[in-house]
A and B are shown apart, each in its own frame.
Chain A
Amino acid sequence: MKLKNVIESPCGIRYVLDQLEIQSSCARRWLLDTSMLVTAEDIDAAYASLRRFVTFVEQVDDSHLNTLQFKLQALKDIRTTIKNLEHGATLDDIELFEVKHLALLSIDVSKLLQSYGMADVAAIPDMREIVNILDPDGLKIATFYIYDSYCERLKDLRVQMRQQPDQADDLLSEANELENEVRSELSEKLHPFAQSIAEVQVALARIDVNLAKALQMKQRGMHFPTISQDDTSRYEGLFHPQVKDVLAKAGREFQKVNVSFGRRPTLITGANMGGKTVVLKTLTLCQYLFQFGFGIPADRADIAIKEEVYFCIGDDQSIEKGLSSFAAEMKNIDAVIKASRENRKLLALIDEPARTTNPTEGAALVAALLKVLSVREMSLVMTTHYDIEPGESHRLRVKGFVDGAMDYSLVEVQDGDVPHEALNIAESLGIDSEWIEQARKELKIDTK
């Protein structure tokens, strides 16, 4: 699973990525092409390297940071050129320019990092030999042509071309042939370095990305997670960056929540508008951020590694595919059940399954789903309004209305009773009282 495959997930990961201050499109492309980390070693290594950058952005002054960011803007994606070099092709001037440009850039960045005492943050292969090949006059500037010093005869021809402009066109043909010979020699000399040139490009992209991740952590109050040892994920002070920003624009504050889930299925119930869906979105987002080596939007997080993440939410995209919302939802959950048989470490987050059908069958479907998935080696977090037998599940409930205000915190509950707050909430929204009162009568609730 690559990052680019999950970017459209409704959990909101695109928002987090869009906020990264990545300097070059090359680095952005590299990041989107990285694979989800599924081993503790890989995740540890990713965070260890990010940790160095976090220290760096905390210590360095802004002008140094800007200098480094400005340098990294010059990083170009030259994979096609590197591939040509690997295949033993003769590079043309534009390609040779690209290689020289990258080599000089890597030396510049290495020197900068060294001067900031950060030389150890990234292993950048040494490109000095490549610069020597492409900069025969030692000018150390990022421009390129087939220099006079590559070939005596070429040098003579060019002198003649300048002296006798009327014959320049004829002389140019011979000069072009000589230039081609030089290009072929240069390409041969560069051929053994193809691998390390590719590595340099990745190393610089990685620096750009890690710097952006570190800055994001600092600016957004994100923290490093620990890797859970008991297959249980625990979050304290969890928030969703995008929802937090939307609320802030409306002058409201995001109420952080604490939540944990493990091998036992977790069922979240609670009033409408109690933020259940936001909790699922945030948990999905955090799982991805964790396994792609980002900071986590929580005060503390201890997260279990998963091999696959399923986030099932009744979204509008199903209509575009021509499926009814019920059919689309069933198919999504079906994929979870099928995957759960394959003994992989899954995390499934399912938002109000079967909500669009009749309550009797809906409740039966949800209860059955809980039973089927509870015996599998996976973590399940599900929200529902249906009143179902708790069984072995771990139950959480949104606290709900307290003194006229919504309390979004999650509390553990033992019984299976779901809160009955829909009418109160509807009333607080200013919904027509004739309707609400009639509903109370239907439920035979004393309205006094």
Chain B
Amino acid sequence: MLPFIDEILRYDSLSIVGLEKNTGKTECLKYVLSHMPVATRRIAVTSIGIDGESVDQVTRTQKPEIVLREGTYFSTSEMHYRQRRLVSELIDVSDENTSLGRVVTAKALTSGKILLSGPSSAMGLQRWMCGMRHFDIDLVIIDGALSRMSSASPAVSQSMILATGAAYSANIGTLVQKTAYVVELIGLELTSEDNIKLLAPLDKGLWWVDKEGGLHDLNMLTSLSSQIHFDGMETCSTIYVAGALVDGFLEKIRQNKSLKGVEIVVRDFTKIFVSPQQFKAFVKAGGCVRVMQKSKLIAVTVNPTSPSGYVLDSDTLCSRLSEAIQLPVYDLLKNE
């Protein structure tokens, strides 16, 4: 058993995030589930976003159903509940709607297969996590992906495992670099308590906070706007981007002398759509980016095989990536 299993149990929530399809996220989820003490702890699992087909529509590779062991709790859509291949006891039918019906929660009474498709909105995921507390669930596990069109962010969980692999890049050097950048973003520090209190209720637009803690509207909807002006912001200490943070916006801030050393706050790392070069240049110029929600990255897993069949050398990949990110890296298939 890999060492991170024990660490997972120290938190009340875990998300498993794949950097790309076929980076082994499902394998990782299966591994984690098969090593959870479901007989002694109440563990619930769901997937954010619609992930229904048992064959991946993009790459035509087999996308296995998840096998749950007796005693595991799970949340899925009504449609997938009806297709379950196990005996399970329904414990809740929620008001949360997905395109495949409402989200229902049940406890597996025998082991068997199930397709997971849980809440797909950010609010829906929050409500689901709160709801699970009513059923005395000790740990929730969220199957999440970054490439998917889902507003639900895995960063709401306390801990995280990142799955990467040849599907993300077939060149070890590039793969290590790209993965290390995401790891850096996941590790961004939290902004101050005061900022979180002030900014958390704002779900759209761009805002700035002056040195006295006063909040001002930048009167722009997104950081994609081409008409960005930073007039009269000499006392600015923090800029908050409620939506996506993009290259052009960061560039403009960097070029503005009066905003030197400013802190940019985003909700969580999934909102950052900035190239590594731009990000590094911004940090080098004295700026910093902070988040309001962060997960503790427990481990990184790799799948050295790409969907096209190309295979990277597992040991080289693991050691180089581990060196770059200073975290344990595992090839789950090899460790089985």
Contact = CB atoms under 8 A, between A and B. Distances in A.
Which of A25, A142, A165 counts the most B-chain CB atoms under 10 A from its CB?
Answer: A165
Secondary structure of the A contact surface, majority rule? helix
Contacts of A93: 81, 90
A101 B110 contact: no
Contact of B78 (A76, A94, A172): A94
B85 interface: yes
Nearest to B101: A94
Contacts of A92: 82
B112 interface: yes
Interface string B256-275: 00000000000000000000
A101 B95 contact: no
Given A143-B89, A145-B87, A145-B90, A94 B104 contact: yes
A168 interface: yes
A97 interface: yes
Contacts of B111: 165, 168
A348 to B, nearest CB: 41
A172 B112 CA distance: 9
Interface in A353-379: none
A94 B89 CA distance: 10
A25 B95 contact: yes
B21 to A, nearest CB: 27
B233 interface: no
Contact of B85 (A94, A97, A145, A172): A172
Interface string A84-113: 000000001110011001000000000000
Interface in B81-105: 81-82, 85-91, 93, 95, 104
A158 interface: yes
Nearest to A145: B89
Interface size class of A (residues with CB under 8 A): 20 to 34
A33 B111 CA distance: 45
Which of B81, B82, B90, B95 counts the most A-chain CB atoms under 10 A from its CB?
Answer: B90
Contacts of B81: 93-94
Contact of A158 (B91, B107, B110): B110
B82 to A, nearest CB: 6
B51 interface: no
Given A158-B110, A162-B70, A169 B91 contact: no
A144 B89 CA distance: 5
B109 interface: yes
Contacts of B86: 172
A161 interface: yes
Nearest to A98: B93
Contact of A175 (B82, B87, B88, B104): B87
A404 to B, nearest CB: 38
B93 A97 contact: yes
Contacts of B88: 145
Contacts, number: 46
Interface size class of B (residues with CB under 8 A): 20 to 34
Interface string A425-437: 0000000000000
B104 A145 contact: no
A168 B104 CA distance: 24
Interface in A128-174: 142-145, 158, 161-162, 165, 168-169, 172
Contact of A143 (B82, B87, B90): B90
A81 to B, nearest CB: 10
A93 B91 CA distance: 11
B108 to A, nearest CB: 10
B83 to A, nearest CB: 11
Interface in B155-204: none
B78 A145 contact: no
A168 B112 contact: yes
Nearest to B78: A94
Nearest to B81: A94
Given A25-B95, A172-B85, A94 B110 contact: no
Contacts of A172: 85-86, 112
B87 A158 contact: yes
Contacts of B106: 145
Contacts of A165: 111
Contacts of A94: 78, 81-82, 90, 93, 104
A5 B70 CA distance: 50
A161 B85 CA distance: 12
Interface string A165-193: 10011001001000000000000000000
Contacts of B70: 162
Interface string B279-314: 000000000000000000000000000000000000
Contacts of B78: 94
A33 to B, nearest CB: 18
A168 B110 contact: yes
Which of A94, A162, A169 counts the most B-chain CB atoms under 10 A from its CB?
Answer: A94
Nearest to B94: A76
Nearest to A179: B87
A256 to B, nearest CB: 36
Contacts of B107: 143
Nearest to A24: B95
Nearest to B67: A165
A346 B90 CA distance: 52
A125 B70 CA distance: 38
Nearest to B107: A143
Interface in B102-137: 104, 106-107, 109-112
A25 B104 CA distance: 18
A143 B91 contact: yes
Nearest to B135: A143
A94 B85 CA distance: 16
Given A92-B82, A175-B87, A145 B109 contact: yes
B121 to A, nearest CB: 17
Interface in A234-280: none
A239 to B, nearest CB: 32
A101 B93 contact: yes
Nearest to A26: B95
A158 B87 CA distance: 8
Given A25-B95, A158-B110, A165-B111, 9 more contacts: A94-B82, A142-B91, A143-B89, A145-B90, A145-B109, A158-B109, A161-B110, A162-B110, A172-B85
The 9 closest A-B pairs by CB, nearest first: A145-B89, A97-B90, A143-B91, A144-B90, A161-B110, A143-B89, A162-B110, A93-B90, A94-B78
8 contacts: A76-B93, A94-B78, A98-B93, A144-B89, A158-B109, A162-B70, A165-B111, A169-B112
Interface of A: 25, 76, 92-94, 97-98, 101, 142-145, 158, 161-162, 165, 168-169, 172, 175
